Amino acid sequence: MATGSSVKTLAAMATGILHGLALAGRPLVQAQGPRATAPDNNPLAPEIVDPEHYKVEIDNEYVRVIRCKIPARDKVKMNHHPVGSVIVLLEDQNLKQTDADGTVREVHNKSKRVSWGMPATHMGENISDQLYEYVRVDVKAAR
């Protein structure tokens, strides 16, 4: 189980990496080619069910970095994140999020926010008139 200080350390490391990704507008390390099948037997992997919005930036034995871009007033499909993740908002977040059980809530946060996300199955709708972009760093050791 991750402690508060280890989550802060992971968040700080991820922020540095993701800052480089955001400035360059491209990945620091290429993913190991497009995936033909879902990773770890996850049929709801974001890049599999919704490649229009999700792109794998890095995938190695330690982390899986996924960039998500949701245009204004657009929706993403139901997807599943099987492990805990560091989430870095590159743009303001104004989402209507629907969980697998049908629970709906609005989520609003400012850009540059770094947070810890638990495993989740959900879909989202960008309820703003601006692009929403974030990077999710799945920490494979957090399984």
pLDDT, one tens digit per residue, over 74-83 is 999 999 999 9
Identity of the amino acid at 17: I
Segments making up each domain of the chain, as ranges: 4-142
- Kindly compute the dihedral angle of the four CA atoms of residues 94, 139, 21, 131, in this order, to the nearest 10 degrees: -20
- What would the two tokens of residue 133 be? 């972009």
Pick from 98, 92, 95, 81: which is nearest to 137 by CA?
Answer: 81
Report which of 45, 40, 119, 39 is spatially closest to residue 82, judged by C-alpha positions.
Answer: 119
41: left (phi over 0), alpha (psi -120 to 50) or beta: left
Chain centroid to Cα 67, Å, comes to: 6
Over the stretch 87-139, which tens digit does the pLDDT of each residue have?
A: 999 999 999 999 999 999 999 999 999 999 999 999 999 999 999 999 999 99
Residue with tokens 């480089």: 20
If one compares 142 and 74, the residue with the highest pLDDT of the two is: 74
Pick the CATH number of 4-142 from 1.10.8.60, 3.30.2290.10, 2.60.120.10, 3.30.420.10: 2.60.120.10
Q: What pTM was computed for the model? A: 0.74
